[in-house]
A and B are shown apart, each in its own frame.
Chain A
Amino acid sequence: QQQVKQSPQSLIVQKGGISIINCAYENTAFDYFPWYQQFPGKGPALLIAIRPDVSEKKEGRFTISFNKSAKQFSLHIMDSQPGDSATYFCAASKLRYGNKLVFGAGTILRVKS
């Protein structure tokens, strides 16, 4: 049973376009939602994270949108670049349990130049 469902499995976007990756969760006790970015041959690295008390968080070209009532959150990459080509994982956790993250299945993003 996957606690965090991520879609799509793969995504191809033209350079300059918007990449959108969606995640849905079941457990309403989750209160921390990070996104990790993984390049080939490397381990994942934290990209951006959000708490459920805000509906949106933006860092440069990366934005998380959060919908608490729908139990969904998404990553938007504006002006997508070939260097953004990577695997993206959403995750969720309960802050008081420390770093026990539950990850989504991952999305392979390819940005075509």
Chain B
Amino acid sequence: EAQVTQNPRYLITVTGKKLTVTCSQNMNHEYMSWYRQDPGLGLRQIYYSMNVEVTDKGDVPEGYKVSRKEKRNFPLILESPSPNQTSLYFCASSLGRGNSPLHFGNGTRLTVT
């Protein structure tokens, strides 16, 4: 089954404790991206990757890191999480063309206390 898999689904952590949210897709997609979803703000792009070893900042990159060492994986790293990073995070992938549909994972709900 074609899918984007994120782990974990839920994560509660404390301020400053480094964490990684994993994302993997099995559709051989070139494009991958991370979004955060907050009430009243919609989906905001954090980072995206056009291909292996090619990453770029989205609209809200501060406090996040990403890497794309393999085509299928695109982990999101929070080196020193803060409470304002409490949010619902989504990974997405696509073929990368402008009208290619984005395929989203089921989300990771992160709480930073």
A36-B103 Cα distance, complex, nearest whole Å: 10
Interface pair A43/B4, CB less than 8 Å apart: yes
| CB-based A-B contact count at 8 angstroms | 67
Interface pair B45/A100, CB less than 8 Å apart: yes
Residues of B within 8 A of A101 (CB): 45, 102
Say yes or no: is A41 at the interface (Cβ < 8 Å to chain B). yes
Interface pair A95/B106, CB less than 8 Å apart: no
Say yes or no: is B24 at the interface (Cβ < 8 Å to chain A). no
A103-B41 Cα distance, complex, nearest whole Å: 9
Interface of A toward B, CB cutoff 8 Å: 2, 6, 9, 32, 34, 36, 41-46, 49, 89, 93-101, 103-106
Q: What are 30 inter-chain pairs, A to B, with CB distance below 8 A?
A: A2-B42, A6-B42, A32-B98, A32-B99, A41-B107, A42-B104, A42-B107, A43-B107, A44-B90, A44-B104, A45-B103, A45-B104, A46-B102, A89-B42, A95-B98, A95-B99, A96-B98, A97-B98, A98-B31, A98-B97, A98-B100, A99-B31, A99-B94, A99-B97, A99-B100, A100-B58, A101-B102, A103-B44, A104-B42, A105-B40
Interface of B toward A, CB cutoff 8 Å: 4, 31, 33, 35, 40-45, 48, 50, 58, 90, 92, 94, 96-107
